């Protein structure tokens, strides 16, 4: 009897090909599509649901739509808004994966008699025979690697996960979709935060909170005032466009103070720092951190992992010190630690430390 698996089908190319691969390998495949947010967002739109259903029909597999709107709002949307309102830049995908996709959706998969959940992530998972730990590895194509967004998964969640496209390139996956005549083979990718409408983050937050966000002062790094800004929710560290100032040279957001509602701007060189403090470390490749460890650290999804040392620093925090200064270390983002292509762990960036 074939092993039953559930595939998280978003209606996109990657998850569709993942489902096709599992069917071809002889698994009994069930497709589940999540409905997570309200109309008007790019997340699980009616078209996405329809596309997933069309693929399931082409593959001759059962397909169901499951609604997790309430738990998604509580765990992801409210978190997203709360972080922006205190001057931090959230990372909703890194929160959604352990709480939603590999949380309540995995629970639903188990209820349907499946031992494992299959997704279209560009990552790889295996078991280290010497330690018995599940290991999360980067995807074969570094440009598409999504291990960063999976770095908060637990050992149990990794053990119940399958990433069949992790050893493939994006162009290769697109080619497989075309060869199999999948109806979404030419579908474009979504690049933005899935639940934020085209009106943008600030408008989304104000609509959700049903009130305008308070304005504040725009400061230079020496503390002098440049004028007013419309609200800290309009800004993130490293931002250049939309500052509303003209000083004769490019200026960038260097810091956001949620308590005092101030935004500080400076020159590009003022964005570079050597150290950061990160909270709530979570370990995958190692059981715990007992002392300084030389490692490569990645401070955002598009950041190239940089040589660094990570060490314990106070209660439930780590200090990360880079060999060379890194640009735009951003509170609220995830720092992910790598040993070669393995994810050692991750932590939430709290503040720069130099």
pLDDT tens per residue across span 253-280: 999 999 999 999 999 999 999 999 999 9
pTM score, whole prediction: 0.95
Asked whether residue 199 carries a pLDDT value surpassing 90, the answer given is: no
What pLDDT sits at residue 118? 98
Q: What would the pLDDT profile of 201-219 be if each residue is shown by its tens digit?
A: 999 999 999 888 999 999 9
> Which conformational region is residue 51 in: left (phi greater than 0), alpha (psi within -120 to 50 degrees), or beta?
alpha
| Mean pLDDT (whole number) for 302-316 | 95
d(CA 91, CA 82): 12
pLDDT tens string 82-107: 999 999 999 999 999 999 999 999 99
pLDDT score recorded for residue 192: 65
Check residue 189 and give its pLDDT: 80
In this predicted structure, what is the pLDDT of residue 39? 54
Residue 3: the pLDDT is: 97
Q: What residue ranges do the domains of the chain occupy? A: 4-179, 214-266, 271-352
Bridge partners, 29 (sequence order): 5
Closest C-alpha among 115, 170, 116 to residue 142: 170
Q: Which CATH number fits domain 214-266: 2.60.120.680, 2.30.30.280, 3.40.800.20, 2.102.10.10?
A: 2.30.30.280
Architecture of the structural domain at 271-352: Beta Barrel (2.40)
Q: How much is the average pLDDT of 316-329?
A: 98
Check pLDDT > 90 for residue 14: yes
For the 4-179 domain, the top CATH level (class) is alpha beta
* Active-site residue, 194 included: yes
Predicted confidence at residue 40, as pLDDT, reads 52
- Active-site residue, 43 included: no
In 3D, which of 195, 186, 161 has the Cα closest to residue 16? 186
pLDDT in tens, 106-162: 999 999 999 999 999 999 999 999 999 999 999 999 999 999 999 999 999 999 999
Catalytic annotation, pick one of 43, 44, 93, 96: 96
């Amino acid at each position: 009897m074939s092993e039953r698996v559930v595939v998280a089908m978003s209606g996109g190319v990657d998850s569709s090909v993942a489902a096709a691969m599992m069917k071809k390998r002889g698994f009994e495949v069930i497709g589940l599509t999540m409905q997570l947010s309200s109309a008007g967002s790019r997340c699980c739109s009616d078209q996405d649901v329809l596309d997933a259903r069309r693929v399931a029909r082409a593959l001759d597999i059962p397909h169901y739509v499951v609604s997790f709107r309430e738990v998604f709002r509580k765990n992801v949307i409210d978190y997203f808004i709360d972080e922006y309102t205190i001057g931090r830049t959230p990372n909703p995908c890194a929160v959604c994966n352990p709480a939603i996709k590999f949380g309540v959706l995995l629970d639903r998969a188990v209820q349907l008699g499946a031992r494992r959940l299959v997704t279209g992530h560009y990552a790889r998972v295996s078991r280290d025979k010497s330690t018995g730990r599940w290991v999360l590895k980067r995807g074969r194509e570094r440009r598409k690697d999504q291990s960063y967004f999976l770095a908060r998964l637990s050992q149990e969640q990794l053990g119940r996960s399958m990433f069949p496209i992790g050893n493939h390139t994006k162009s290769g996956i697109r080619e497989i979709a075309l060869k199999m005549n999948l109806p979404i083979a030419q579908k474009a990718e979504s690049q933005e935060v899935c639940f934020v409408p085209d009106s943008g983050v600030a408008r989304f937050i104000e609509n959700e909170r049903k009130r305008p966000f308070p304005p504040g002062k725009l400061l230079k790094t020496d503390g002098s005032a440049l004028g007013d800004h419309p609200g800290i929710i309009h800004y993130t560290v490293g931002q250049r466009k939309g500052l509303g100032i003209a000083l004769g040279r490019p200026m960038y957001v260097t810091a956001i103070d949620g308590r005092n509602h101030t935004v500080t701007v400076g020159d590009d060189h003022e964005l570079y720092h050597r150290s950061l403090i990160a909270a709530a470390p979570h370990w995958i490749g190692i059981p715990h951190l007992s002392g300084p460890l030389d490692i490569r650290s990645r401070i955002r999804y598009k950041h190239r992992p940089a040589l660094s040392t990570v060490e314990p620093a106070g209660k439930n925090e780590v200090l990360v010190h880079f060999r060379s200064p890194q640009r735009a270390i951003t509170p609220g983002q995830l720092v992910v630690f790598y040993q070669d292509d393995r994810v050692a762990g991750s932590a939430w960036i709290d503040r720069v430390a130099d």
